[in-house]
Amino acid sequence: MYAEQIDVLYTSPLQRAQQTASPLAELKNISPVVVEGVAEFDQHSNEYIPIEELKAANDPRWAEMINGTWTSPEEAQEFTDRVIDSLETIIKTNRGARVVVTCHGGVINEFLAYVLGLDTRQFFYPNYTSLHRIAASSNGHRSILSINETAHLRNSGLPMGLFHG
Residues 6+ apart with CB under 8 A from 112: 123, 124, 132, 134, 144, 147
The DSSP output letter for 21 is H
Instruction: Give the residue extent of every domain in the chain.
Output: 8-129
Q: Do 76 and 121 meet the contact criterion of CB atoms below 8 Å apart?
A: yes
With a cut of 80, say whether residue 156 has pLDDT above it: no
More confident residue, 97 or 47: 97
Q: What is the pLDDT of residues 37-75, one digit of tens each?
A: 999 987 777 777 777 777 778 888 777 777 767 777 788
Q: What is the pLDDT of residue 25?
A: 97
| 8-129 carries CATH number 3.40.47.10 | no
Task: For residues 89-95, give the mean pLDDT.
Answer: 97
Cα 150 to Cα 147: distance, rounded to the nearest angstrom: 9
% pLDDT > 90, the chain: 57
Return mean pLDDT, the chain: 87
Q: What is the pLDDT of residues 112-126, one digit of tens each?
A: 999 999 987 677 888
What confidence category does residue 163 fall into, taking pLDDT thresholds of 50, 70 and 90? low
% pLDDT > 70, the chain: 91
Q: What is the pLDDT of residue 39?
A: 96
With a cut of 90, say whether residue 76 has pLDDT above it: no
More confident residue, 33 or 120: 33
**Most confident by average pLDDT, 65-69, 144-148, 159-163:** 144-148
Contacts of 111-119 with C-beta under 8 Å, sequence gap 24+, read 111/83, 111/84, 111/87, 112/144, 112/147, 114/80, 114/84, 115/142, 115/143, 115/144, 116/144
